[in-house]
Amino acid sequence: NMRKLLLFSLLIIAFNQDALASTMRYRSKLIKGYLVDFKTRRDVDEVSLLLVSKETGERFKTETRGGVFTFKNVPIGENILILTDKDYRKDTLKVFKTNAKEHLEHYTFSKTQPFSARLKVTWLFNWGDRTVVIKGKKVIQEHYWSHMLARVILIVYGLCLVMIFYYSVIQLSLALAYRKSKRIPKLPMPSFDIANAPKVTIQLPMFNEMYVAERIIETAARFAYPKDKLQIQVLDDSTDETKDIIAKKVAEIAATGVNIQHIHRVDRTGYKAGALDAAMDRVTGDFIAIFDADFVPDENFLLRTVPYFNNEHVGVVQTRWGHLNKTYSLLTELQAFGLNGHFAIEQQGRNSTGHFINFNGTAGIWRKKCIEDAGGWEHDTITEDLDLSYRAQMRGWKFTYLEDVESPAELPITMSALKSQQHRWMKGGAECFIKMRGKLLTHPGVRFSDRVHGMAHLFNSSVFVFILILSILSLFILHIKDSFSDLNYFVQFGAFFISSTVFLAFYYWNSYREKTGRFWNDVFKFIKRFVQFLTVSMALSMSNAVAVIEGYLRIKSSFVRTPKFNVAQKDEFTGNKYDKKSLSILNIAEGIFMLVFGFTALNRLAFGDFGMVPFHLMLAIGYGIIFFNTVKEVRTGR
């Protein structure tokens, strides 16, 4: 019996040893690895991790110590490693398989490929997570309102992208229309009997233009047109020595037999529109040519434009603006680049397809009857030219655009002068949109395509509001990308709208006037100029957006005209008393934006997140150009 008992005991011991050995063959004593921050590549401490065995479903929790994490007694086989820390984005790091033969004692992850943890943005989107039970399992969810805020930002960001895309599609359609119009043989200029030329009145509206007043008066007096059929009105609202300069020059010209009058107003009601309207009862011509003080039209201007009024339905003939001082600086080069796009693609593209265009306030001729039929000059907007243009065309009048007739003018040479001009154009465009949108959509007899293009035309200035909002929200988009893995798919759709830039490039390429015939040389020069133009234009979005918002809110302000300089070279500039410079809250905000976008671009560049780096670099450079030029002008002016 003792023998049997001893044998039985030995069998039990052997069985237990086999069972223990079997258990040890299917368990890894140690699984070890380390975790680093996705951006800094530094070890992260006290970060929670979960390991789930796909073989048995067992779950093992641990935290990093000095970046290192360990799991003990894990079943051999496939395992899922999950980052569960509330301060980091939840992510499945790796599914791996431990091998019983090689890793029974331990399993160490490769040190050359550490796992990365993406830290959530604690100051904005990490509002505290919560644990909920879903299908019997505890799941950590991100804060509801934090997640909702991220979605709202993405929706607004997406809407801005859509509106910019819509704008670029309209510009693309105009570029295609322009190219098509170039393939159509040009019609000869209508016949013109100089002996029976109609009477023409030239109006020269001015307000404190002491630097250029004499030049435009002399230019108008030299027009090649029968003197007995020509009237010149100098509409002078000046409050300084300009009125004396004008009076002296008008008397000098009148002495040569030219029919010229100096009409001086003391009350500036309505500003430019008011001056034009007040002089209408003194107009003797059947047609009215209007020139701003900084223009220098060719002496044959009337001979090349008046014949187009042979068509009794034509109410306006508009010519293309040229540039007297285009090569003055990079600032004037970029202005010329942008204006060429408007006067080639927009005006010619719309006109060639029969859509509404606008009288540009100068360098064009009105049929007097058209002005009267459309209701005359109104001054409830600061872009009276755009306003009257749409009222006239909705009444059935046709506008003719002559791209081949150039009327040179002066471009603003200082940042403050450019901003003043842009502010007036953008605010006036918004005011006209508010005023005309209902009439354009409901006025009888207007084609549907004219309504669509007209609404887009009037809404054009609003693109700067969308660019400003887009640029600000792009900072938050980066944080959303870091914080919410489930929203990353939405962010990626933004790349689709890179096509907006391509469409705009096509638009400006067709208006680019520095082509030499060597294709690739022209392409590289164009790309450089296009990038420079976009860089400054995007940074101007802040001041332009403020102007647009003022227009939509119907905030009234005085007519701030663009200072004229009468200089073509930098060594000719000795100052301008009308170009008043001072730092404003907007200028300070531009400096702050320069720093913010610059830091963000460099920060993302350092960590290898290149997606928005070009966009933010362009914004930083653009705001820097505007800010430092403004500061320089203020210091020089003082």
SS3 readout for 253-266? HHCCCCCEEEEECC
Burial bucket for residue 426 (CB in 10 Å: 0-12, 13-18, 19+): buried
Residues 6+ apart with CB under 8 A from 443: 394
Closest residue by Cα to residue 144 from 158, 159, 156, 132: 132
Q: How far apart are CA 362 and CA 385, in angstroms?
A: 9
Q: Are 74 and 30 in contact (CB under 8 A)?
A: no
Q: Identify the sign of the CA torsion 357, 359, 365, 371.
A: positive
Tokens of 372: 């009267």
44 three-class SS: coil
Residue type present at position 366: W
Taking the C-alpha atoms of residue 309 and residue 400, their distance in angstroms, rounded to an integer, is 9
The answer for residues whose C-beta is within 8 angstroms of residue 572's C-beta and 6 or more apart is none
Tokens representing 304?
A: 């090349």
Query: Rounded to 5 degrees, what angle do the CA atoms 457, 461, 462 make?
Result: 105
- DSSP structure class, residue 186: P
Q: Which residues pair with 432 in a beta bridge?
A: none
Question: Under 8 Å CB-to-CB from 138, ≥6 apart: which residues?
Answer: 131, 132
Place of tokens 């919560």: 130
Buried b / exposed e over 6-21, threshold 16 CB at 10 Å, is: eeeeeeeeeeeeeeee
Contact call for residues 229 and 200 (beta carbons, < 8 A):
yes
Backbone angles phi, psi at 172, to 5 degrees: -65, -45
Active site residues: 237, 385
Q: How far apart are CA 284 and CA 297, in angstroms?
A: 22
Task: Indicate the SS3 state at residue 49.
Answer: strand
Element (DSSP H or E) covering residue 502: helix 499-511
Contacts (Cβ under 8 Å, ≥6 apart) of 213: 206, 242, 245, 246, 249, 293
Residues 6+ apart with CB under 8 A from 542: 468, 586, 589, 590, 593, 623
Q: Measured between alpha carbons, how far is 382 from 386 in angstroms, rounded to an integer?
A: 9
